[in-house]
A and B are shown apart, each in its own frame.
Chain A
Amino acid sequence: MSKGITIYKGKVAYLDRSDVDTDQIMPKQFLKRVERTGFGQFVFYEWRYLKNGEPNPDFELNQFPGATILVTGPNFGCGSSREHAVWGLKEYGFKVIIAPSFGDIFYFNSVENMILPCIVEMENVKVLMQKTKERKEYYLTVDLPNQKIYDDEGLVVDFKIDQESKDKLIKGWDSIDLVLKFEDKIKEYELRRPSFFPSTKMGSLTGYDKK
């Protein structure tokens, strides 16, 4: 079980784009692996590298090596449900992602993998991006219990996170362990589940191959 997050300080990188989809974060050619690891090298692959395989100096993230906090535009992580995107961001080093909004599935996937998604007002995101751009070495401290983000220059901004994700991130809970405590309730539903809802035991597929 992973350890929880309470207060975290790290270097910031920015990505000044809206609607960054998970196809960009983890291109499909890397989805064929059957492991959960090894995805960090492929994050933002098409943007991050030039055709000759060298890092693309124009790509924002390449200008902030060692960053662990990402500030970005609205609707980050929209699109495909691929959790490979989150595995990649995590292995790359990101612990916190700050944006005005997130794709729903991505948001869930992040929390499952102990990446903290902070929802910050658009105006404040713009300020954070501007500072990151200008300072080059910009650090933020994220205080999860109090839902505040500080820099070393006196700036304080609030962020939003739902209670469930907050608890999970602070306590480092394993979702499956938690749910298995509700075995009784799960069984209760199974008893009242409508008899006509399909199961693979019913059906009349003639000649299907159950290999």
Chain B
Amino acid sequence: MPKTIIEKIWDEHLVYEIDGWYGLYVDMHFIHEVTSPQAFEGLELAGRKVRRPDLIVATVDHNVPTTPNHLPITDPIAKKQIETLYKNAEKWGLLFFGLDSPYQGIVHVIGPELGLTQPGMVIVCGDSHTSTHGALGAMAFGIGTSEVELVLATQTIKAKKPKTMEVRFEGQLQKGVYSKDVILALIGKIGVGGGTGYAIEYTGSFIRNLSIEGRLTICNMSIEAGARVGIISPDEKTFQYLENKPFAPKGREWEKALDYWQKIKTDEDAKYDKTVILDVSSVEPMVTWGTNPSQVQPITGRIPYLSEIEDEFSRNAAKKALQYMGLEEGMKITDIKIDVVFIGSCTNARIEDLREAAKVVKGKKVHPNVRAMVVPGSTQVKLQAEKEGLDKIFKDAGFEWRESGCSMCLGMNPDVLGEGQRCASTSNRNFENRQGKGGRTHLVSPAMAAAAAIAGRFIDVREIL
């Protein structure tokens, strides 16, 4: 029977099963400072051991300062958390990319970048955006801390068999529209719970033509539609991306891997439990106006009137969102002024993202009322951008140029929005207080964020490209 990639990876990794309980073997476990300390502690209290230290990679990203010359860390609680990971990595002999390592970065950026993420693998991390790694054909999902402990001890994870959803993107993007806009449009269409209980496979001509970096952005936000897994069957682009990456197989092993990866992709005629089709040629640059990613409109649109929202819960949610965001129903998106621009996060801080943003910024100046910053997704991305002179373009325009980390995506480090400040952000969550208490987040693509930095309000980036 023809199978999807999701079913194939599932079947390959299934190690036990009891009464609707499934255990999958974990090929790679990424660890960061925030969701791991309690897991290591629990493990040690129970007198257990880390089963496979060689299948764990640890880095620090969530609460690290990203200001230039960011050492030593001044926040004592953050410092303790980082030191705890450092100690755990040392104790168990884990590969650890600390703050002074050239391979440090946001965990979902460094996995693909180092070739640690490969097709057919099961990958977990104590972070919901682990879905990102699906872009290379891995089944990757976020887990809680108790589950991190389970993986440390057993190298397996319990899972419920997900239903499969095909999201087929057909067509070609207009200039000035990016994968970020596409995924926001999808979430606007199916809602933040639309993918709950499903693993999503993205297919269609748009995906086949999309770069790996664009695919990473799409898979990253699967969880914002409620799906723990977002995946794309591997193809030539995937293989080219992986070739010669530090942890990619070499020589004969590479040949074996290619063979395996060809077989792992979804069979023609495989059936999904559900299919959603979206024509991307009509997608416009998108801007969220509310406090969840499904509250989104095209740049040419306006915020909906509450009376237009039929469902009672959604209407209440929209009302509370508008209050929080300090916006009026019916308002035009282009009338929204902004105070801060954040280009960063595991969604949109890879080299292609920075290139797109730099194209918009080049030779222009950040609006005097705006504070703008670029936080590269990894130290490697930062170094590459500097090689290409992108840092200079940003700095000349008035952007801050930072060290890599999660930074203002969740404001656990000193980069936070002030009360009432409004931010155009390339991250993935516009939840209340996410970027700082009382801060207001609008999710956009890197090019749209760059355009907003120059104009001081949201504008249609297609008009200035």
Q: Which residues of A contact B (CB under 8 A)?
A: 16-19, 21, 23-24, 27-29, 31-36, 46, 73-75, 78-84, 86, 101, 103-105, 108-109, 112-113, 162-164, 167, 175-176, 178-180, 182, 185-186, 188-190, 193-205, 207-211
Whether B160 is near chain A, meaning CB under 8 Å from some CB there, is: yes
Q: Which residues of B contact A (CB under 8 A)?
A: 13, 15-16, 18-21, 23, 25, 27-28, 34-35, 37-38, 41-42, 46, 48, 52-57, 62-63, 75, 77-78, 80-81, 84, 86, 89-90, 94-98, 100-103, 114-116, 118, 120-121, 126-128, 142-147, 149-150, 153-156, 158, 160, 192-193, 196-197, 223, 226, 228, 246-250, 253-254, 256-257, 260, 292, 313-314, 316-317, 320, 410-412, 429, 431-434, 437
Are B120 and A83 in touch, CB under 8 angstroms? no
Those 5 A-B pairs whose CB atoms lie nearest each other, nearest first: A196-B249, A34-B37, A83-B144, A109-B144, A200-B95
Point out the residue from A19, A112, A176 that lies within 8 Å of B48, measured CB to CB: A176
The answer for the CA separation of A44 and B24 in the assembled complex, in Å, is 34
Are B247 and A78 in touch, CB under 8 angstroms? no
Say how far A206's CB is from chain B's closest CB, in angstroms: 9
Are B431 and A200 in touch, CB under 8 angstroms? no
Say how far B75's CB is from chain A's closest CB, in angstroms: 8
* A-B contacts besides A31-B412, A35-B41, 8 pairs, CB < 8 Å: A17-B317, A80-B429, A104-B226, A179-B158, A197-B28, A197-B118, A200-B94, A205-B103
Point out the residue from A23, A101, A109 that lies within 8 Å of B429, measured CB to CB: A23
Are A210 and B313 in touch, CB under 8 angstroms? no
Say how far A56's CB is from chain B's closest CB, in angstroms: 14
Are A21 and B15 in touch, CB under 8 angstroms? no
Our count of residue pairs bridging A and B at CB distance below 8 angstroms stands at: 235
A-side contacts of B78, CB under 8 Å: 32
The answer for the CA separation of A139 and B253 in the assembled complex, in Å, is 63
Cβ contacts A to B, 26 pairs, < 8 Å: A17-B313, A32-B77, A32-B81, A32-B412, A34-B41, A35-B41, A79-B223, A79-B429, A81-B144, A82-B144, A83-B35, A84-B145, A86-B144, A104-B197, A112-B147, A167-B19, A180-B154, A182-B23, A186-B156, A194-B120, A194-B256, A194-B257, A205-B114, A205-B246, A210-B96, A211-B90
Are B434 and A200 in touch, CB under 8 angstroms? no
The answer for the CA separation of A34 and B127 in the assembled complex, in Å, is 16
Are A105 and B153 in touch, CB under 8 angstroms? no
The answer for the CA separation of A108 and B80 in the assembled complex, in Å, is 28
The answer for the CA separation of A196 and B119 in the assembled complex, in Å, is 11
Say how far A102's CB is from chain B's closest CB, in angstroms: 8
Are B149 and A35 in touch, CB under 8 angstroms? no
The answer for the CA separation of A167 and B154 in the assembled complex, in Å, is 21
Which chain A residue lies CB-closest to B154? Answer: A179
Say how far A163's CB is from chain B's closest CB, in angstroms: 5
